[in-house]
Amino acid sequence: MEVSQDFSLASKHSASGLRMTSTELTAYAVISFIVVLWCHYKWNRRHFEKLASKMTGPPAYPIIGAGLEFVGTPQQVMERIIKLYDIYGSEPFKVWMGTSLGVTISKPEDVQIVLNSSKALEKDQFYKFFKNTVGEGLFSAPVHKWRRHRRLITPVFNAKLLDQFFPVFNEKNRILTRNLRKELGKTQPFDLWDYISDTTLDIICQTAMGYNLDTQSNNESEFAEALTKASELDSMRIYKPWLHPDIIFSIYGKLTGLHNVYKTLHKLPNQVIKEMKEAYAQKKIENKAKAIDVNDDDKTRLKVFLDTLLELNEAGANFSDEELRDEVVTMMIGGSETSAITLCFCLLLLAIHQEIQDKVYDEIYEVLGDGDQTITIEDTTKLVYLEQCLRETLRLYPIGPMLLRQLQDDVKIFSGDHTLPKGTTCIISPICTHHIPELYPNPWSFNPDNFDAENVSKRHKFSFIAFSGGPRGCLGSKYAMLSMKVLVSTFLRNYSVHTDVKLSDIKLKLDLLMRSANGYPVTIRPRDRRPTYKQNKNCSTVI
């Protein structure tokens, strides 16, 4: 009997020992679920990790990836980016961006494959940081919207439209010339940015919307101030990862009042669009009654970018007011700050290299003479060496040092015979491509001859990607080059530019765009309107 009882008791203890508590069961289920998720995660990432195992790259850590490489001031970040390319060269290398795989692409042959691929048209998620400012214009739009808008807008940027902008180019540059007079006779340098940025903004507002912002005369412009603040706000968001989620950034903006910056920025374009649509509709009614084409009653009025968008709407494009605003704001931002930075760099480089500045001026004198006649679109085609200087400036200091594309399918590149899997972020790097010694000897020196016809013909087409390339390349590159030629030629016809800065003194920083960390300090002197080779000849005769 006792034996039986002992056996029964032992059985109960054994059974209770095998029975799991509800807490243990829950813990087991959670651990099993995590293991399954981890296995699923690793399986889905097997292609990325297989590719990454074949590539070199900066050290990466869980969750943050190689994020520590990009912590610091905008100047320190730019220095680290350049250092990475010095370390790893032009061969593709990996950069873990958090948990996403980025692959840098620098060689022209690989750049061509990626930028021309229909599988690489989608911009990376990084570009969402710009959407509060530019919305979904051509720069940041998802592929489905970009295809439609690009097809409609591309024909707009023709020579006829660009020719109409020259009176605006000339008028705003006359104001620039007048404003610069206050710097004559001063020995202390001034920052070119203070004058050039206002000029390019006035030009783009007039040519995009037909609105005379007149920032050059009015420093209290609400729109100009909002544009600067929006750029700073977007840049701040990039460097503060906790503001990356849209909902967090939205809450932050409302708590700090910074969301009003975007409202102020969009206020002017929204107002102009509304007024122009109303005027366009009223004109259409009046002209219909008179049996006159809506576009024929005012041939003398400047036809601006917004006009062409409204005409496209009339032809069935069906742009919403928000889409009209996004495209106009995209053009205004793309055509003002980017041009201003390039122009400031170019004039600073010409101040450093006086012999090149003399050569540019001689060409300007040969084309335009010593009078005050306004420059035409035909004149700009003859300013060949000036264009070489502008392109060399963009090679040396590309405004967008990195372009990010997210692959929608696998893409194979030449280097290393790598196949980049769907979901990879391709980091196209103008700052690296433009400084490959095999393409550009002494790549950190300023040499406009890099872009003479003979040297250009020897290089791969995608050796120069300052305006990106492929189907999603910059639509406004011709506009930018024309407007910059007019400004530099007008500037140098009236003033010679000088500086104590050396090329090695220029330090770069990266916020939304790449720019000089220490500004663009120069002095100016009145121009003796004779070709420099004649001046030199006269000097030698006197001697």
Burial class (CB in 10 A: 0-12, 13-18, 19+), 214: middle
d(CA 463, CA 465): 6
- Listed in sequence order, the residues at least 6 apart from 89 whose beta carbon sits closer than 8 Å to its beta carbon are none
Q: What is the pLDDT of residue 543?
A: 28
Cα angle 512, 517, 521 (rounded to 5 degrees) comes to 125
d(CA 30, CA 32): 5
Domain boundaries of the chain, sorted by first residue: 46-540
- Listed in sequence order, the residues at least 6 apart from 309 whose beta carbon sits closer than 8 Å to its beta carbon are 153, 156, 317, 319, 324, 327, 328
Number of Cβ atoms within 10 Å of the Cβ of 199: 26
d(CA 294, CA 281): 9
Question: Strands 403-406 and 122-123, how do they pair?
Answer: antiparallel
The encoded tokens of residue 479 equal: 């506009």
d(CA 53, CA 45): 12
Task: Write phi, then psi, for 526 (nearest 5 degrees).
Answer: -60, 140
Provide the CATH topology of domain 46-540.
Cytochrome p450 (1.10.630)
Asked if residue 474 belongs to a known ligand binding site, the reply is: yes
Query: 184: left (phi > 0), else alpha (psi -120 to 50), else beta?
Result: beta
The answer to whether 78 touches 72, Cβ cutoff 8 Å, is no
Q: What is the pLDDT of residue 18?
A: 56
Q: Please tell me whether residue 69 adopts helix, strand or coil conformation.
A: helix
pTM of the prediction? 0.89
Q: What is the pLDDT of residue 39?
A: 80
What is the DSSP secondary structure assignment for residue 107, as one 8-state letter? S
Q: What is the pLDDT of residue 154?
A: 87
Number of Cβ atoms within 10 Å of the Cβ of 212: 13
Q: What is the pLDDT of residue 128?
A: 85
Pick from 307, 326, 219: which is nearest to 266 by CA? 326
d(CA 204, CA 332): 6
Pick from 186, 191, 242: which is nearest to 67 by CA? 242
Number of Cβ atoms within 10 Å of the Cβ of 15: 9
Residues in the chain: 543
One DSSP character per residue, 387-446 reads HHHHHHHHHHS-SSS-EEEE-SS-EE-SGGG-EEPTTPEEEE-HHHHTT-TTTSSSTTS-
Q: What is the pLDDT of residue 35?
A: 84
pLDDT in tens, the chain (543 residues): 555 555 455 555 555 555 678 887 888 888 888 888 878 767 878 899 899 999 999 999 888 889 888 888 889 999 999 999 999 999 999 999 888 999 999 999 999 999 999 999 999 988 888 888 888 988 889 999 999 999 988 888 888 888 899 999 999 999 999 999 999 989 999 999 999 999 999 999 999 888 888 889 877 788 888 888 888 888 888 778 888 888 998 898 888 888 899 999 899 899 999 988 888 888 777 766 665 555 554 555 678 888 889 888 888 888 999 999 999 888 888 889 999 999 999 999 999 999 999 999 999 999 999 878 889 999 999 999 999 999 999 999 999 999 999 999 999 998 888 999 999 999 999 999 999 999 999 999 999 999 999 999 999 999 999 999 999 999 889 999 999 999 999 999 999 999 999 999 999 998 888 999 999 999 999 998 778 776 665 543 332
